[in-house]
Structure 1
Amino acid sequence: MSRPVSSPVPVFKLYGEGQEWLTPDLLHCETIPKRSRVHHWEIKPHRHADLSQLLYVHAGQAEIEVEGQRRMFREAMVQVVPPLYVHGFRFSEDIEGYVITLAAPLVSELKALLGAAAEVLAAPANFTAGADRAYLNSLVAALQREYNAAQPGRDLALHSLINLLVVWVSRQMIQRHKAGQSQERGRDYLNVFTRLVEARFRQQPSVEALAHATGISVAHLNNVCRDLAGQTALQILHQRLLLEAKRALIYTSMTVSQVSDSLGFTDPAYFSRFFRRMSGVSPRAFRHTGHLPPPLNAGR
């Protein structure tokens, strides 16, 4: 879907059909194959001046490009494309899904109803269907049926169905935002915890004391450490102790007993058991055969 830099980006109402809006409705709904098949399964980069689109892929493979950024999808998902964003698609021949195009008045109405969640329609985003795949397929298929039929109450039904779809998308956005905030807070907690470990590891503080100083519970601290560092809080503390023990054994002439004492162990025998459990060898064996990476300024 590459294009010469100097080529103008086409502006369409519906892809390939110029600037005329072909329906009195405020939305247009069609299957992905209907339009993409006649274009050899590729919708080249273009943009819409005043239309928003929701692309729902139910099955098959879709390569989606928005503002030069491409992603490949092989699972059910919804792609949001706001007005003016350059976008294009390439589909596999077994693609199943729908393209829903929303006119500006309908988008304004939806934004007013959504309130703070209206940002979901303001920027490109994609959301995997996950466990909601069957629900979304039923919802969008019903929207397509209503769109193609001239039944009583059609306009109300179309508005109700598009409202449900946009609410689903807005909820995904809210969940993603909350997850991002949670991860950011988690990084802050982990940074505080690792600074505490660095400052206090020689005193071998309890995980409870470190969690309290971090400002969270032990369970929360362990969840943060596992999610972001792949280890429990105690494992992080023990790894720091082990690293310092290895450094002392390699770079100093301290005895094993002195190293043990410097790291807050009250019993050299317990230190030796700790070291063997963590490294697989005794402190003395490590001193004779082990090594650490050279300092960063080695050889300068």
Structure 2
Amino acid sequence: MNPPAVEQVPTFKLYGDGLDWPIADLLHCETISARSRVFQWEIGPHRHADLYQLLYLHRGEAQIDIEGHRQSVRQAALQFVPPLAVHGFRFSENVEGYVVTLAAPWIEQLRAQAGMGQELFQAPVCLLAGEERGYLYRLFQALQREYAGPQPGRELMLHALANVALVWLGRRIQQHRAALQVPERGREVLARFQQQVEACFRRQPSVEHLAHAIGVSVPQLNSLCRRLAKQSPLQIIHQRVLLEAKRNLTYTSMTINQIADALGFADPAYFARFFRRLTGQSPRAFRESLATGPVV
């Protein structure tokens, strides 16, 4: 389905509430289910003229459509929506989470106080909560509790909790952008590391040795490999050793003991354990399986 033309997209303060901001607060907080249930779990494409929204999905599934880009989210995540971004949602009936709507001046004030760039909160972004799932759930739960109950110091607490959420968001956006814009030098370092692995994997070099050879620290190399190759340096080395072991088992008549020795294993039994740990079968079983089907 094509997204609606901009002039056809309704503009709301809160979805379904027309153009008037219904409360005196600069913040509004509610559960996802409170509003989406009324609309049969679907919030049609719309936009907000001068409001930012944080949608925290804790449990369930959300179909998120932002500016015509649609994705399905099935794990804890925070969706950030800036003003005028056309967005819509469809939720599963077991959805659990919160929606916080903030007036634009609040964001601008916080951004200036925190020394964050003007461009930081201008584009939509969906950030997976990961290990911080529990932390975010407690944070948004506290926001909802403060918003719902007229207690002493309510406004102060709302500001404090919302600011914590926004600082978390700002930091994660910065990290997200940095991960998408890896410096060219990082790619060059990874290429040099892979060249070193190729040159000496049969000796099973240590990560420390290879890091020293290419002129970086072990923590730097570890961070770089995980970010660019999605593996640790040691995993990269092990995968290259494993590839050579499979080649030898497939295309040569070398014995398993000879292959182990050629790949730097002092003990053939240790080679067998290494191979089984990475493939789920012994070298002998792998070789025997070649007669019954293709190697995967």
When the two structures are superposed, what TM-score results if normalisation uses the length of structure 1? Answer: 0.68
Determine helix, strand or coil for the equivalent of 1:168. helix
Query: Residues 94-124 of structure 1: CA distance to partner in whole angstroms, max 9, x if unpaired?
Result: 1111111111111111211221267542221
Contact kept in structure 1, 2:197 and 2:237, CA below 8 Å: no
Tell whether 2:33 aligns with 1:33: yes
Seen in structure 2, the aligned counterparts of structure 1 residues 169 and 235 have a Cα distance that, compared at 3 Å, is: closer
Structure 1 residues 17 and 234: alpha-carbon distance in aligned structure 2, compared to 1, 3 A threshold: closer
Residue 164 of structure 2 aligns to a residue in which SS?
helix
Greater Rg over alpha carbons, structure: 1
Shift of 1:212: 4.0
Q: Which amino acid aligns with 2:231?
A: D
Unaligned runs of 5+ in 1: 250-269, 282-300
Measure the CA separation in 2 of the matches of 1:56 and 1:272: 51
RMSD: 4.3
Instruction: For residue 172 of structure 1, give the secondary structure of its aligned residue in structure 2.
Output: helix
Letter in 2 for 1:132: E
TM superposition shift of 1:159: 0.4
Match of 2:289 in 1: none
Equivalent residue for 1:274? 262
Mapped contact 2:221–2:233 kept (Cα < 8 A) = no
Task: Indicate yes or no: 2:140 matched with 1:140.
Answer: yes
Residue 169 of structure 1, CA deviation: 2.0
CA positional deviation for 1:273 = 6.1
- Compared CA separation, residues 80 and 206, structure 1 to 2 (3 A): closer
Q: 1:227 is aligned with what amino acid?
A: Q
**Matching of residue 227 in structure 1 with residue 231 in structure 2:** yes
**C-alpha distance in 2 between matches for 1:133 and 1:234:** 32
Q: Which residue of 2 aligns with 1:288?
A: none
1:294 aligns with none
Aligned positions of 1:100-179 closer than 5 A: 100-116=100-116, 119-177=119-177
Report if the CA contact (8 A) 1:222-1:232 is conserved: no
Aligned to 2:58: 58
Amino acid at match of 1:148: A
- Conserved? CA contact 2:204–2:237, under 8 Å: no
Q: Name the CA distance, whole Å, in 2 between partners of 1:58 and 1:78.
A: 9
Q: How does 1:1-300 map to 2 (within 5 A)?
A: 3-4=3-4, 8-116=8-116, 119-177=119-177, 186-195=186-195, 211-217=211-217, 224=225, 227=231, 231-233=235-237, 236=240, 274=262
Does the 8 Å contact 2:41/2:90 carry over to 1? yes
The C-alpha deviation readout for 1:232-271, integer Å capped at 9, x for no partner, is 448648978x99xx99x9xxxxxxxxxxxxxxxxxxxx89
Residue type matched to 2:109 in 1? Answer: E
SS at match of 2:115: helix
CA–CA distance in structure 1, aligned partners of residues 87 and 3 of structure 2: 12
Aligned AA (1:87): H
SS of the equivalent of 1:49 reads: coil
Deviation at 1:88, TM superposition (A): 0.7
Q: Deviations over 1:42-71 (max 9, x none)?
A: 011111111100001122111111111122
Q: Deviations over 1:196-240 (max 9, x none)?
A: 677x67xx9977776444223578658837827885448648978
Q: Which amino acid is 1:158 matched to?
A: L
Q: Which runs of 5+ in 2 are unaligned?
A: 253-257, 264-270, 276-282, 285-296
Question: Judging changes above 3 Å, is the alpha-carbon distance between structure 1 residues 206 and 129 closer, same or farther for their aligned structure 2 residues?
Answer: closer
How far residue 2 of structure 1 moved from its aligned partner, in angstroms, is: 5.1
The two structures have a TM-score, normalised by structure 2, of 0.69
